[in-house]
Amino acid sequence: MLFRSKLLNSLANQLRRADEVVIIDNHPEHKSSMIAKQFTFVSKILETKNYGFAHGCNTGTKVLSKKIELIFFLNPDTTLKQNCLKQLRCGIPNDWAAWMPLLLKNDGKINSAGNIVHISGLSWCGGYNQNPKQYIKQQEVQHLSGACLMIRRSVLKRAGGMPEGYFMYYEDAALSSQLNLMGLKLGIVPKAHVD
C-alpha cells in the first residue's frame, strides 16, 4: 500500500498545471483507488478488471485530454527522483519517438538503462548493476522499459497502442521493436532517475 503513496508523493512537486494523472486500479479490492483519492492532483481514477499491463496503459491513454501529447507510463512500485519530469521534457531530440529515465534499484545502481533484446526474443535490462554516473549524455537505445516509459501520443497511436497480446511483460519489447521497424528512434535520459 505505501509504495503507491510514495509514487504519488514523488509526482506532486513535478507536475505542471496542464498535466493529467490517471490511475488505473485493476486490483480486485481497488486499494490503489482509496489511496489516489487522497491526492487532489489526480485527474481520473479508473477501477477495472485486470486485463493486463498493456490494456491498463491503453485504457489510461484513452481518457486523457486530446491536448496531452507526452504520455509517461509508470509502474505503481516506482518513485521519481527530483526533477525527473523536467529532465524528461526538456532538450529531448525532436526525432525521438519514446524515451526513458534511468531506472534504479534500491541500492542506487542501475536496473535498466534501456533494454536489450536478443535475436531469439529473450530480453534483459541494459546497464544492469552499473553506476548511473557512467551515463552522462542522452543516447539512443533499441528498447525501453515499460516501467517508466515516455512516448509521444501521436507515435503511440500510429503504433496501435501498447500490444495487448501480452498480459504482463514483453509488451515493452514488442512496442520498442515495432517502433524500431517504423524507423523511429528511442533513447535514455541519464539525468532523469526513477527508483
Q: What are the tens digits of pLDDT across the range 76-117?
A: 899 999 999 999 999 899 999 999 999 999 999 999 999 998
User: How far, in whole angstroms, is CA 7 from its chain's centroid?
Assistant: 13
Q: Evaluate if residue 158 carries a pLDDT over 70.
A: yes
Which residue from 88, 121, 119, 120 is spatially nearest to 103, judged by alpha carbons? 88
pLDDT of residue 14: 96
**How many other β-carbons are positioned within 10 Å of the β-carbon of residue 139?**
12
Residue 125 pLDDT exceeds 90: yes
Q: pLDDT-based confidence at 2, cuts 50/70/90? A: low
pLDDT band at 169 (very low <50, low <70, confident <90, very high): confident
Q: Tell me what pLDDT residue 119 has.
A: 87
Per-residue pLDDT, 40: 93
Q: How many CA atoms lie within 13 A of 193 on its CB side?
A: 16
Q: Whole-angstrom Cα distance, residue 73 to residue 169?
A: 14
- Amino acid identity of residue 24, one-letter, is I
Question: Whole-angstrom Cα distance, residue 38 to residue 26?
Answer: 18
Please tell me the distance from the alpha carbon of residue 179 to that of residue 185, in angstroms, as a whole number.
7
What is the residue whose three cell numbers read 546497464? 127
Confidence of residue 127 (pLDDT cuts 50, 70, 90): very high
* Alpha helix (H) residue ranges in the chain: 2-12, 31-36, 53-62, 84-89, 153-159, 171-181
Percentage of residues in the chain having pLDDT higher than 70 = 98
Contact (Cβ atoms closer than 8 angstroms) between residue 144 and residue 189: no
Taking a C-beta distance cutoff of 8 angstroms, is the pair 104, 84 a contact?
no
| Residue 3 confidence (pLDDT) | 58
Tens-place pLDDT, residues 51-81: 999 999 999 999 999 999 999 999 989 999 9
